[in-house]
Amino acid sequence: MPDDLCFAPALELATLIRERALSPVELTHAVLDQIQRLNPKLGAYVLVHAERALDEARRAERAVMTGAPLGALHGVPVSIKDNLWTAGERTTSGSRLLADFIAPEDTPSVAGLRAAGAIFVGRTNLPEFAWRGSTDNPLFGESRNPWDLTRTPGGSTGGGAAAVAAGLAPLALGSDGAGSIRIPASFSGLVGLKPTFGRVPMYPAPGGHELVAHVCPLARTVRDVALMMNATARHDARDPFALPDDAVDYVASCDAPLALTGPLRVAWSPDLGFAPVEAETRDIVADAARLFTHLGAKVDDATPDIGDPGWILRTLYGGAQAGAHAARPKEQKARMDPELVAYAEASASLTVVDHVKAVAARQAMVDTLRRFFERYDLLITPTLCLPAFPLGVVGPREVAGREVTHLGWTLCYPFNYSGQPAISVPAGWTKSGLPVGMQIVGRRLDDALVLRAAAAFEAARPWAARRPPLT
């Protein structure tokens, strides 16, 4: 029974708690026991609040028994990525430079989860300053993938992904600046949504990444991700880019018919026209995309003409890292991830002219995507170009016989630049047992449709019952 609790959907757990069929204390004990058993192997959590979580669970139980008003996540354990502020807690961003930093207040998404009644069991690992698509840092070391402990769970929300995949909490709160929720979702067999830019407010501002960074939910099921959206997708004045409340019930959106006003127009692109994709990954996602024809959609082979946006990423993302770290004193750099330092220093020679050209190219790419989505409701791609790669590297140097640069093995980052909602769901597993993700992209503000499409696919080809060998 405890193991079953650790893998039950959050939506089901919350219902059982409200119906007095499950004690929040029992659930929290089960999750904490799972953490104690498996976290030493996974490196998912960097801080566990066992006693405090149990105190919160006891208060949650009393509220149930006394008939007090209950939030949608009342008594449900959640993990928080260690770059998102939680008032009064150490928040390190995986860096020895912030090893003693105490957050002065809750970030908006944390406050939303708290108001919904979630129980925070701990903080999860990430690469230093969330800079890469694998999770390893000088302060806490590496996180490992529950599907294969010799491989990365992805990054930068890698600790959260390892935790959810192994039953160390049903939900994780993370972030995504160039794929950091969708990469670990794909590598770890999970659902990760990057909402429309501004839909989930972010504070404090993430420096040079403020126009691409998103706060994101990560879970095992689509409806659990939607449940987190209901708690976090609310306007907060601290974020100047935060959108007004849309009053959407994202869980209810998952229950609506896929096509509300006629057949959906879906584009399938195996590579977005620029990315090298391994054959097995491409074939798994192509088979998954074809399923949408049986769900009532019209699926075309179609790719937006965005060229190769890798140089935009290298300029804007690299420039942001250079601005944050290239001029740090030598003694600080000596305490940092040497790969991050090298990446920042290599980007320090970029000029203002380089930056302006990249901004203009980004704007042109966004316009191209806007025109593409005048013809299509959704775009489906592989999330990544390959399954999880081995530990000990920032990323692969080569995919499908082609050399790739930093994050060039993903199909995620163009939609950070366009601000569109994009979700990664499990499309299948490789012959060696590694998960492969499918990315579903919608128009800006069409988060509900993206979730509805993902939920329809999950109903047709469910995955949540499959568990990693570690568990």
Cα–Cα distance for residue pair 449/71, rounded to 1 Å: 25
Cα–Cα distance for residue pair 103/273, rounded to 1 Å: 42
DSSP 129: G
* Phi, then psi, of 418 in degrees rounded to 5: -90, -15
Domains in the chain with CATH codes? 2-460 (3.90.1300.10)
Question: Is the bond preceding residue 204 a cis peptide, omega within 30 degrees?
Answer: yes
Cα–Cα distance for residue pair 229/239, rounded to 1 Å: 17
Q: How far apart, in Å, do the first and last CA atoms of the chain sit? A: 14
Is 109 annotated in the active site?
A: no
Q: Which residue of the set 79, 175, 180, 347 is catalytic?
A: 180
Q: Which residue of the set 81, 143, 188, 194 is catalytic?
A: 81
Inter-axis angle of helices 447-460 and 222-232, nearest 10: 160
Angle, CA 441 vertex, CA 215 and CA 420 arms, to 5°? 50
- Pairing verdict, β 77-81 and 171-176: parallel
Is 23 annotated in the active site?
A: no
pLDDT (tens place) for every residue of the chain, 471 residues total: 567 899 999 999 999 999 999 999 999 999 999 999 999 999 999 999 999 999 999 999 999 999 999 999 999 999 999 999 999 999 999 999 999 999 999 999 999 999 999 999 999 999 999 999 999 999 999 999 999 999 999 999 999 999 999 999 999 999 999 999 999 999 999 999 999 999 999 999 999 999 999 999 999 999 999 999 999 999 999 999 999 999 999 999 999 988 766 789 999 999 999 999 999 999 999 999 999 999 999 999 999 999 999 999 999 999 999 999 999 999 999 999 999 999 999 999 999 999 999 999 999 999 999 999 999 999 999 999 999 999 999 999 999 999 999 999 999 999 999 999 999 999 999 999 999 999 999 999 999 999 999 999 999 999 999 999 988
Inter-axis angle of helices 279-294 and 447-460, nearest 10: 100
Question: What's the pTM?
Answer: 0.98
Q: Which residue of the set 79, 156, 253, 347 is catalytic?
A: 156
Is 180 annotated in the active site?
A: yes
* Phi, then psi, of 102 in degrees rounded to 5: -110, 125
Cα–Cα distance for residue pair 9/116, rounded to 1 Å: 16
